[in-house]
Amino acid sequence: MGTLFRRISIMVPYIWLLLLFLLPFLIVLRISVSVLEYGSPPYIPQFDLAAGWDSFIDSLGMLNLENYVFITTDALYRNAYLSSLTIASISTLLTLMIGFPLAYGMARASDGIRPILLMLVILPFWTSFLIRVYAWIGILKPEGLLNQLLLTLGLIDTPLTILNTNTAVYIGIVYSYLPFMVLPIYATLEKLDYSLIEAAQDLGCTALGAFWKITLRLAVPGIAAGCLLVFIPAVGEFVIPDLLGGSETLMIGKVLWTEFFNNGDWTVSSALAMILLFLLVVPIVLFQNAQAKATERQG
Amino acid sequence: MKSLGNVRRSFAPWAEPDSVAYIRFENVTKKFGDFVAVQNLSLDVYEREFFSLLGPSGCGKTTLLRMLAGFEEPTNGQIYLDGQPLKGVPPHKRPVNMMFQSYALFPHMSVEQNIAFGLKQEGMEKHAIGERVLQMLKLVKLEQFAKRKPHQLSGGQRQRVALARSVAKRPKLLLLDEPLGALDKKLREETQFELMDLQEELGLTFMIVTHDQEEAMTMSDRIAVMESGSIEQVGTPAEIYEAPSSRYVADFVGSVNLFEGTVETVDNETIQLNAVDGFKLEALCERPAVELPEKGITAWYSIRPEKISVSRTKPATSTNAIDGEVWDIAYLGDMTIFNVRLDSGKVIKASVLNATRIVEDPIGYDERVWLSFPANGGILLDR
**Mean pLDDT across the stretch A88-106?**
95
CA–CA separation, A165 vs A162, rounded Å?
6
What percent of chain B is modeled with pLDDT above 90? Answer: 3
Residues near B194 by beta carbon (within 8 Å), at least 6 away in sequence: none
Residues pairing with B330 in the sheet: B337
The answer as to whether B126 is a domain residue is yes
* CATH number of the domain bearing residue B302: 2.40.50.140
Facing residue for A195 by CB, picked from B92, B100, B117: B100
**Mean pLDDT across the stretch B14-32?**
84
CA–CA separation, B144 vs B277, rounded Å?
62
The answer as to whether B382 is a domain residue is no
Range of the domain at B369: 255-375
Burial class (CB in 10 A: 0-12, 13-18, 19+), B48: middle
pLDDT at A179: 94
- Taking CB atoms and an 8 Å cutoff, what residues of chain B touch A299? 149, 151-152
A9 pLDDT more than 90: no
Using an 8 Å Cβ cutoff, are A218 and A297 in contact? no
pLDDT at B289: 44
Q: Choose from A191, A202, A220 for mutation: most chain B CBs within 10 A.
A: A202
Which of B183, B245, B247, B244 shows the shortest CA–CA distance to B215? Answer: B183
Is B268 found in the same domain as B198?
A: no
Complex ipTM above 0.85? no
pLDDT, one tens digit per residue, over B34-93 is 888 888 888 888 888 889 998 888 888 888 889 998 888 888 888 898 888 888 888 888
Q: Do B108 and A299 touch (CB under 8 A)?
A: no
Burial class (CB in 10 A: 0-12, 13-18, 19+), B257: buried
Is B341 found in the same domain as B326?
A: yes
The answer as to whether B1 is a domain residue is no
Which of A215, B129, A101, A106 shows the shortest CA–CA distance to A206? Answer: A215
Is B259 found in the same domain as B244?
A: no
Q: Do A202 and B106 touch (CB under 8 A)?
A: no
The answer as to whether B76 is a domain residue is yes
Is B278 found in the same domain as B235?
A: no
Among B216, B248, B280, the domain boundary falls at B248
Q: Do B117 and A200 touch (CB under 8 A)?
A: yes
CA–CA separation, B293 vs B161, rounded Å?
52
* CATH number of the domain bearing residue B75: 3.40.50.300
Decide: helix, strand or coil at residue A63: coil
Q: Do A203 and B100 touch (CB under 8 A)?
A: no
CA–CA separation, B82 vs B72, rounded Å?
19
The answer as to whether B117 is a domain residue is yes
The answer as to whether B383 is a domain residue is no
CA-based nearest distance B346→chain A, Å: 46
A212 touches chain B (CB under 8 A): no
CA–CA separation, B24 vs B46, rounded Å?
9
pLDDT, one tens digit per residue, over B97-110 is 999 888 989 988 98
Among B248, B272, B303, the domain boundary falls at B248
Is B244 found in the same domain as B216?
A: yes
Among B214, B231, B248, the domain boundary falls at B248
B263 pLDDT more than 70: yes
- Taking CB atoms and an 8 Å cutoff, what residues of chain B touch A188? none
Q: Number of folded domains in chain B?
A: 2
Is B268 found in the same domain as B242?
A: no
A206 touches chain B (CB under 8 A): yes
The answer as to whether B290 is a domain residue is yes
For residue A209, the chain B residue with the least C-alpha distance is B121
Is B290 found in the same domain as B156?
A: no
**Mean pLDDT across the stretch A53-64?**
69
Is B171 found in the same domain as B57?
A: yes
The answer as to whether B381 is a domain residue is no
Q: What is the CATH number of domain A74-298?
A: 1.10.3720.10
* Burial per residue of A89-103, b for 16 or more beta-carbon CB atoms within 10 angstroms, e otherwise: ebbbebbbeebbebb
pLDDT at A299: 46
Is B119 found in the same domain as B81?
A: yes
Angle (CA) A33 A20 A68, round 5°: 20
In terms of residues, how long is chain B? 383
Is B184 found in the same domain as B100?
A: yes
pLDDT at A240: 92
Is B280 found in the same domain as B223?
A: no
Is B240 found in the same domain as B265?
A: no
Residues of B with CB under 8 A from a CB of A: 69-71, 90-92, 96-98, 100-102, 104, 106-108, 117-118, 121-122, 149, 151-152, 165-166, 169
pLDDT band at A5 (very low <50, low <70, confident <90, very high): confident
Element (DSSP H or E) covering residue B215: helix B213-219
Residue ranges of alpha helices (H) inside A62-193 are 66-73, 75-108, 114-122, 129-140, 145-153, 166-191
